[in-house]
Amino acid sequence: MADYRDNYYGSILDPLHGDIKLSEIEKWIIAEPLFYRLRRIKQNTFLYYVFPSANHTRFEHSIGVMHTAGKIFDSCKENYATGEKKRTKYAVSQKSSFFDLNNLKEKEEIYYQELRIAALLHDIGHGPMSHLFDDFSIDKDSFLNIVTSEECLLNYEKGFDKLVTDHKKVEHESISCAFVFYLIDKLKKACYADPYKFSISAATIINAISAERIVKIIEPTFLELKDLLDNDGNSYTHFFSRIVSAFPIDADRMDYFLRDSYFSGVTYGIYDTNRIFSSFQAMKKGADVHLSFRQSGLDSMLRFIQCRTHLFNQVYFHKTNRAANTMLTYSTSTFKDDNKKLLNIKSLDKLITFYLENSDEKFVSETVKSEMCINDYEKSVLDDLIRRKLFKRVYENKIVLRGKQKELLPKIKDIQKQINSKLKSLIDEKIYAVADQYANETFKDFDKKPIIIATKNSSSIGYSSSEDWKSAGKEFELSDMTVSMVRIYIARTFHSPDEYTRIKKIVLEKVSEERLLLEKLSEEQT
């Protein structure tokens, strides 16, 4: 009997993963304009201003996540089979602590394809400038009006309403879910309209896959969607969802660590891929199947967590990269302060049209400039950003927070807001200055979607499960920290060293009280 994996015969050559195999369905999705547009959305917005080769996009990243998600699933199956062979060799009679994914039986082919589609489409809702776009894309009411006016979405109003409410705005995850419903509906209609468009095996899968299950993998809290079940009633929702997105590891992070490192020319995101894959297992708790990571691979996992910390501190939060991002925020500050939204539209077609028409470059140079820059000084800052005449850093304060010290983050954020409030008064003097604040939390999302640690019992027989990654070992405890950084930038309106010194002095004196507060906090945490 032929293996259904033989249906994955399309091919894309990737510099990180090598030959990535594709199904007919995946090839159709990749060729769709709504997905193909991701070629024009950079993975890291302005990072190429710092690392010139970091021009890679959400397009190749999404394909890499799809491939990695499939490999995690395959690794769980292979690692279970290896364990069973060892148990047979050493005549171990006790039942395995891990779960055999072959229990999916005939549903494996469908769920495996849905997993890969969920991974492929997890970023489909990203607009131009990726995460920066979420702040001013569309308001809740406009988005929900679109949901209730579209046939493929109107049955899911409660789910979208909760998603938007939980996130406190319409983020790209909500848009991704809407686009999944739209694309799968379009796929099924295309298959029905042309019986010769797909092979018989692909058409069979198209008829069987469910947009609801794919959305459930991407957003497991989406209301009124059924779990992914096998014939025995076991639920795989947690398992598949955490393959795509989880703490501390998932297919998304596994790809972008390597990809961002490769194209930035750094080694911060390099980790032991073989050891990572060999440590994945499926475990069952009650009726739920979970993704787990064996204790024996914790050293490689520690390295993986450190990769994230180093990438954020050294690459994503590089002073020049943050300067560029801060300039975009600064040039749209009046628009944002007035609580305006860019997309006051009422149909899914118009939403899709905006996404198709706005690449990163067009969005910044045309859409932002014509619709979101309210004042002349904002337009001048945007022009400087486009020409890479970037803000210059004049102040920096770094605070390392551990344990309960993390409760100081809101206070630090308030100080940053106070600084920006005072700096606004300098605009009349044609001094454009702004404070930027970020926090890099090593265990970010620790309490939201953790995968399980499979710890070998002291009797050396069987494994127990835990989600407490902070207590996985002394090294993990020491890694539990949050780095807060506050920087003050000024626009390059100066034309001489003396003029720069004068402007810097004015800016720093203007916020001297706030600087003293930050420096006092920094001293207290050392």
Q: What is the pLDDT of residues 189-247, one digit of tens each?
A: 999 999 899 999 999 999 999 999 999 999 999 999 999 999 999 999 999 999 999 99
Residues 399 and 316 reside in one and the same domain: no
Domain range for 275 is 4-359
Which pLDDT band, with edges at 50, 70 and 90, does 92 fall under? confident
Residue 38 CA: distances (Å) to CA of 34, 316, 355: 8, 20, 10
Domain contains 385 = no
The total number of residues written for the chain in this structure: 526
Domain contains 374 = no
DSSP at 197: S
pTM summary value: 0.96
Of 58-72, 108-122, 447-461, 488-502, the poorest mean pLDDT is in 447-461
Residues 171 and 316 reside in one and the same domain: yes
- Give the pLDDT of residue 526: 62
Percent of the chain with pLDDT over 90: 88
Residues 303 and 404 reside in one and the same domain: no
Residues 241 and 291 reside in one and the same domain: yes
Of 30-34, 97-101, 512-516, 521-525, the poorest mean pLDDT is in 521-525
Residues 68 and 180 reside in one and the same domain: yes
Q: How far apart are CA 349 and CA 127, in angstroms?
A: 15
DSSP at 314: I
Q: Is the pLDDT of residue 1 over 80?
A: no
Backbone φ/ψ region at 339: left (φ over 0), alpha (ψ -120 to 50), beta:
left
**Residue pLDDT, tens place only, 12-23:** 999 999 999 999
Mean pLDDT of 54-64: 97
Mean pLDDT of 373-384: 96
Which pLDDT band, with edges at 50, 70 and 90, does 6 fall under? confident
Amino acid at 161: D
Residues 204 and 112 reside in one and the same domain: yes
DSSP at 260: H
Residues 426 and 294 reside in one and the same domain: no
Long-range contacts of 456-463 (CB under 8 A, 24+ apart): 456/294, 456/295, 456/296, 461/92, 461/94, 462/94, 462/97, 463/97, 463/98, 463/283, 463/294, 463/295
What the block records as the tokens of 500 is 């720069």
Residues 334 and 457 reside in one and the same domain: no
- CA 488-489-490 angle, to 5 degrees, is 135
Residues 137 and 271 reside in one and the same domain: yes
Q: Is the pLDDT of residue 154 over 50?
A: yes
Among 319, 344, 359, the domain boundary falls at 359
Residues 410 and 313 reside in one and the same domain: no
User: What Rg do the C-alpha atoms of the chain give, in angstroms?
Assistant: 25
Residues 411 and 502 reside in one and the same domain: yes
Return the residue matching tokens 């990571």: 293
Domain contains 380 = no
Residue 392 CB partners (closer than 8 Å, separation 6+): 323, 489, 490, 492, 500
- Give the pLDDT of residue 132: 78
Q: Is the pLDDT of residue 71 over 50?
A: yes
Q: How far apart are CA 220 and CA 238, in angstroms?
A: 7
Which pLDDT band, with edges at 50, 70 and 90, does 309 fall under? very high
Domain contains 376 = no
Among 308, 338, 359, the domain boundary falls at 359
Domain contains 107 = yes
Domain contains 318 = yes
**Residue pLDDT, tens place only, 258-287:** 999 999 999 999 999 999 999 999 999 999
CB atoms within 10 A of CB 204: 15
**Residue pLDDT, tens place only, 317-332:** 999 999 999 999 999 9
Mean pLDDT of 51-62: 97
Q: Which residue has the higher pLDDT, 7 or 110?
A: 110
- Give the pLDDT of residue 113: 98
Domain contains 73 = yes
Percent of the chain with pLDDT over 70: 99
Residues 321 and 428 reside in one and the same domain: no
Mean pLDDT of 55-66: 98
Of the candidates 250, 272, 270, 274, the one whose C-alpha atom is nearest the C-alpha of residue 262 is 270
Domain contains 492 = yes
Of the candidates 463, 76, 95, 456, the one whose C-alpha atom is nearest the C-alpha of residue 279 is 76
- Give the pLDDT of residue 268: 95
Q: How far apart are CA 43 and CA 28, in angstroms?
A: 22
- Give the pLDDT of residue 460: 64
Strands 452-456 and 288-294: parallel
**Residue pLDDT, tens place only, 93-148:** 888 999 999 999 999 999 999 999 999 999 999 999 887 788 888 999 999 999 99
Q: Is the pLDDT of residue 72 over 90?
A: yes
Q: How far apart are CA 12 and CA 27, in angstroms?
A: 10
Helix H or strand E encompassing 520: helix 512-525
- Give the pLDDT of residue 461: 75
- Work out how many domains the chain is built from and give that number: 2
